[in-house]
């Protein structure tokens, strides 16, 4: 029996700043790595449909960055989702390295990104797009970091507000700002730049989860990573980190099920901030 953690995070929006017509619902997908949650991802798609999201946010690594890698699983999923919802996609380190090194990966990234765009995916390669949903003006930014921010000692590397501003521009102050940023390690900088909501993944929940402690190790081999899974706050920013829908660098998970993340922006304070359950199915 397969299982997937299904978690909903509610984020309160001050009605004096943004008065919503209804709660805004989003699904966050990260680190699929060509995994299938049910044949042809039918279980994943079914659970997303039940939630009835207003948009889908993809925080990178839907594919595996290897020469001649099969990207069909990610392509098929994105196509099916884009037929029903707006999909905003930011590259993770796997997409970026295929893009950055065509001498190794050939034209696989070009073909993959072209397919996404042809099927209506909003591919945010250090870009932004604005959308208005239920009375909320949202600016969605996709931050694509280079490979130097994902190497073994990357957690020691600094990322400055000036670097983010160079890639994305300054935050638009009248909009609710969502930053898709695959690597959560730099959350203090994302918050200082001014993101209202940061959506990340990359750490796969810490690979092995120790009850009462959290994730054991990151893909960069750092023990007990700070931002492994869940909700975090810094300044006026909230970050949601997905434990991911697949695995790759360390190809197993222990006490750490794959995870579908749902986010609800609401003016109501009296609702539970987190709801979770376990989805089970036979492969």
Give the torsion sign (CA, 88, 181, 114, 172): positive
Q: What is the mean pLDDT of the chain?
A: 94
Q: How does strand 24-29 pair with strand 258-266?
A: antiparallel
The interaxial angle of helices 72-82 and 108-118, nearest 10 deg, is 20
pLDDT of residue 151: 78
The interaxial angle of helices 42-51 and 72-82, nearest 10 deg, is 30
pLDDT of residue 32: 97
What are the E-state strand segments in the chain?
2-12, 24-29, 55-58, 87-89, 122-123, 127-133, 136-143, 176-181, 197-200, 209-210, 214-215, 230-234, 237-241, 258-266, 274-281
**Across-strand partners of 254?**
208
Cβ burial, residue 129 (10 Å; 0-12/13-18/19+):
middle
* CATH number where 72 lies: 3.60.21.10
Q: How does strand 237-241 pair with strand 230-234?
A: antiparallel
pLDDT of residue 282: 86
Q: pTM (2 decimals)?
A: 0.96
How many domains are contained in the chain? 1
Scored b (16 or more CB within 10 A) or e, 101-120 reads: eeeebeebbeebbebbeeee
pLDDT of residue 158: 85
Number of H helices, E strands in the chain: 7, 15
Distance CA 273, CA 12 (A): 9
Half-sphere CA count of 126, side-chain side, radius 13 A:
11
pLDDT of residue 149: 85
Domain span at residue 258 reads 2-281
pLDDT of residue 220: 76
Cβ burial, residue 148 (10 Å; 0-12/13-18/19+):
exposed
Low-confidence ranges of the chain (pLDDT < 50): none
**Across-strand partners of 29?**
58
Cβ burial, residue 69 (10 Å; 0-12/13-18/19+):
middle
pLDDT of residue 248: 81
pLDDT of residue 147: 87
């Amino acid at each position: 029996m397969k299982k997937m953690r299904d978690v909903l995070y509610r984020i309160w929006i001050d009605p004096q700043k943004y008065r919503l017509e209804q709660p805004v619902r989003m699904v966050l997908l990260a680190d699929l790595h060509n995994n299938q949650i049910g044949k042809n991802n039918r279980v994943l798609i079914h659970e997303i449909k039940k939630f009835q999201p207003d948009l889908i946010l993809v925080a990178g690594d839907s594919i595996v960055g290897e020469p001649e890698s099969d990207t069909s699983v990610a392509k098929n999923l994105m196509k099916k989702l884009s037929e029903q919802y707006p999909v905003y996609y930011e590259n993770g380190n796997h997409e970026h390295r295929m893009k950055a090194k065509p001498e190794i990966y050939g034209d696989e990234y070009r073909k993959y990104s072209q397919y996404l765009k042809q099927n209506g995916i909003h591919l945010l390669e250090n870009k932004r797009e604005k959308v208005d949903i239920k009375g909320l003006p949202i600016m969605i930014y996709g931050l694509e970091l280079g490979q130097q921010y994902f190497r073994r000692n990357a957690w020691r590397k600094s990322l400055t507000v000036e670097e983010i501003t160079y890639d994305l521009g300054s935050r638009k102050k009248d909009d609710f700002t969502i930053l898709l940023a695959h690597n959560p390690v730099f959350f203090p900088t994302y918050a200082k730049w001014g993101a209202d909501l940061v959506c990340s993944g990359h750490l796969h929940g810490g690979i092995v989860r120790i009850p009462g402690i959290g994730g054991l190790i990151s893909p960069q081999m750092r023990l007990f990573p700070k931002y492994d899974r869940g909700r975090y706050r810094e300044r006026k920013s909230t970050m949601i980190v997905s434990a991911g829908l697949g695995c790759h660098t360390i190809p197993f998970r222990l006490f750490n099920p794959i995870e579908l993340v749902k986010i609800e922006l609401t003016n109501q304070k009296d609702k539970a901030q987190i709801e979770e359950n376990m989805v089970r199915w036979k492969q």
